[in-house]
Amino acid sequence: MYFLSDEEKKHLLKGYLPRSRQTYIVDELRGWNWHQPPLLPPYELKLGAYEIANAYCPSYRDLYLRRVQKVRSQPNLAMLRGAFLHDILVKEIIAAKKIIYKTGIASYKTIFKQLEKREPYKVPDNFQLNDKEKACLEREAEIIVKFERQRLTSRIHDVLVKQPYIGEDSLVNIAVPLVVEQKLDGSFLGMSAHLSIDAYTFSEPMILDLKFGEKKSFHRLQTTAYALAMEAIYEFPVNLGCIVYAKIKDDRLFIEKDIHIIDEELRQWFIEERDEKMRLVEEEIDPGVKDCLDTCPYYQFCH
């Protein structure tokens, strides 16, 4: 699902990439300037990137309950679904790389057989779901796995027919040019030292974040947080992000990609959200209850 279509590649190469190079971003808003304002964190507290980017709770009381009151909630169905399906995608990509390395180019036919014959995924026993919900999730997993394996097989085929002398490592890097679950130390910017990017691609330099819910403007704060963390660590500019929205309807998978430039506006927004939420926790400010969905995992603690 992370791989771009031909049309998306054209938009990236002829649109987003040139525009991102031309977009001016003041040095103060680059991650490598984490040691001075405005990027310098106002408190010693470390927040998760998801805590800074999350705005599902309109008053941020979920953060107050979790961090100040130490309330432990149970994940709702949407959270369990997202975690399960995301984990499947990670396993599929990693498995494809392992199969290529283990099997070798000489036995390329075996690579395709190994990709197809892996066991179906089952919902973990510790997921508190009924049988109908489990069956639905496993059906969605089957749809995603079928799609992803076909894409991986096609990409490997495309490389092999063009490169008769290619080796395993080169095949992996061309056919599956993704790092999944890349770990980052976000502590320079007041975030966790154990951040995890859904995916990062070097061939099409972008931070990718996978969502199985509705499109929200604040989702771009997640890619912005990771971009700033990468700039702080590696000291090179990271200008592009992509939110991958996956939706399954009537047993069909639909994918929409929100490719965006991580510009000054997003960086300023990240700083404002980080500083406000840090102050809320450090000063133990209860923001009160606002209109919220009854599916919120903290709903019972507010109503």
> Can you say how many angstroms the Cα of residue 202 is from the centroid of all Cα atoms in its chain?
15
What's the mean pLDDT in 30-36? Answer: 98
Q: Which CATH architecture has domain 6-70+178-283?
A: Alpha-Beta Complex (3.90)
Element (H, E) at 109: helix 108-116
Position 78 confidence tier, pLDDT thresholds 50, 70, 90: very high
- At 142, is the secondary structure helix, strand, or coil? helix
pLDDT at position 203: 72
Reported as a single tens digit per residue, the pLDDT across 39-70 is 999 999 999 999 999 999 999 999 999 999 99
Can you read off the two tokens belonging to residue 35?
């040691």
pLDDT at position 202: 79
pLDDT at position 228: 98
Reported as a single tens digit per residue, the pLDDT across 236-246 is 999 999 999 99
Look over the chain and give the mean of its residue pLDDT values, rounded to a whole number: 96
Cα distances from 123 to residues 86, 112, 247, 261, in angstroms, run 12, 26, 19, 36
Backbone angles phi, psi at 219, to 5 degrees: -60, -30
The yes-or-no verdict on residue 294 having pLDDT over 90 is: no
The yes-or-no verdict on residue 138 having pLDDT over 90 is: yes
Reported as a single tens digit per residue, the pLDDT across 261-273 is 999 999 999 999 9
Residue extents of the structural domains in the chain: 6-70+178-283, 77-176
What is the rounded CA–CA span in Å between residue 122 and residue 33? Answer: 45
The yes-or-no verdict on residue 174 having pLDDT over 80 is: yes
Cα distances from 163 to residues 140, 160, 166, in angstroms, run 35, 5, 6
Cα distances from 133 to residues 45, 78, 122, 145, 247, in angstroms, run 38, 11, 12, 18, 16
* Among 53, 39, 25, 4, residue whose Cα is nearest residue 205: 4
Torsion of CA 13, 15, 16, 18, to 10 degrees: 80
Position 303 confidence tier, pLDDT thresholds 50, 70, 90: confident
Reported as a single tens digit per residue, the pLDDT across 97-124 is 999 999 999 999 999 999 998 889 999 9
**Burial degree of 131 (CB within 10 A; 0-12, 13-18, 19+):** exposed
HSE-up of residue 289 (Cα within 13 Å, Cβ side): 10
Whether the bond into 164 is cis, omega within 30 of 0? no
What's the mean pLDDT in 121-139? Answer: 96
Reported as a single tens digit per residue, the pLDDT across 202-225 is 776 799 999 999 999 999 999 999
Q: Work out the end-to-end distance of the chain between its first and last CA atoms, rounded to an integer number of angstroms.
A: 39
Position 290 confidence tier, pLDDT thresholds 50, 70, 90: confident
Q: What percentage of residues in the chain have a pLDDT greater than 90?
A: 95
188 Cβ contact list (under 8 Å, min separation 6):
31, 34, 35, 229, 232, 233
Reported as a single tens digit per residue, the pLDDT across 155-168 is 999 999 999 999 99
What is the rounded CA–CA span in Å between residue 1 and residue 17? Answer: 20
Q: Which amino acid is at 262?
A: I
